[in-house]
Structures are given as C-alpha cells and as structure tokens.
Amino acid sequence: MLHIINKSTLTSGTLDTCLNTAAGGDILLIEDAVYAATRGNAAEAKLKAAMGRFKLHVLMPDLEARGMGDRLIEGVSPVDYGGFVELASNNKTCQSWL
C-alpha cells in the first residue's frame, strides 16, 4: 500500500498517525511533508526509525522548490513525477493522509 503525506510533520500529526496506524509499505512525502526528510529537522529520528517498516520516498520537485534539495536524509529515495505515478500504479491501494 502507498501512503501519501502532504502536511508538515512539525505542525501536523499526519505523519505520526500514518506511522502509528499503517502496517507497512511505501510512504511518499510530498508538498510540505518533504521537510520531514531533511537533515537536522526534529522529526529526523522518527523518520529513520520508520525505515525498517516502510520504504520512504520524497517528491524531489517539492523538496527543490523549498530550497532543501541538498539536505535529503540518507535512506529516503528521491522520486520525480514519473516515479510518483509508478508508485501509485505498483501499489494495489493508495491512502492520502489529508
């Protein structure tokens, strides 16, 4: 299953709820959620802890728009819009945690 997160982790509980609820699979961080995948942010440890259970992805155009393209945490895989489509089509179901 693909979980899509679009809210900032430091001001919204969306990623927490996803991590606490979801059984596993792929997580794609888009829009303001991409900050969670940047080095030195307060959610870094939480994200790293989730790497065992989930495969983490980040939408690079969103990361670059925010001036954070050079700060991606190791272990999070960068995808473009084509990669986004691929993730959606490779998974039987998608959940957007709005």
Partner 1 sequence: MSDAKKFMFVNRKAPYGTIYALESLEVVLITAAFDQDVSLAFLDDGVYQLKKGQQTKGIETKNFSPAYRALEDYDIEKLYVEKEAMEARGLTEEDFLVPVTVLSSAEMGKLMDEQDVVLSF
The residues of the shown chain that bind partner 1, judged by CB under 8 A, are 6-8, 10-11, 31-32, 35, 38-42, 44, 60-62, 64-71, 80
Nearest approach in angstroms of CB 36 to partner 1 is 10
Indicate if the alpha-carbon torsion angle 18, 20, 25, 27 is positive or negative: positive
Q: Which two tokens stand for residue 8?
A: 């900032």
Nearest approach in angstroms of CB 96 to partner 1 is 14
21 sits in the region (left: phi over 0; alpha: psi -120 to 50; else beta) called: alpha
Of 11 and 20, the one with the shorter C-beta distance to partner 1 is 11
Of 2 and 30, the one with the shorter C-beta distance to partner 1 is 30
Nearest approach in angstroms of CB 23 to partner 1 is 27
SS3 category, 45: helix
Q: How much is the CA Rg of the chain, to the nearest whole Å? A: 12
Of 25 and 44, the one with the shorter C-beta distance to partner 1 is 44
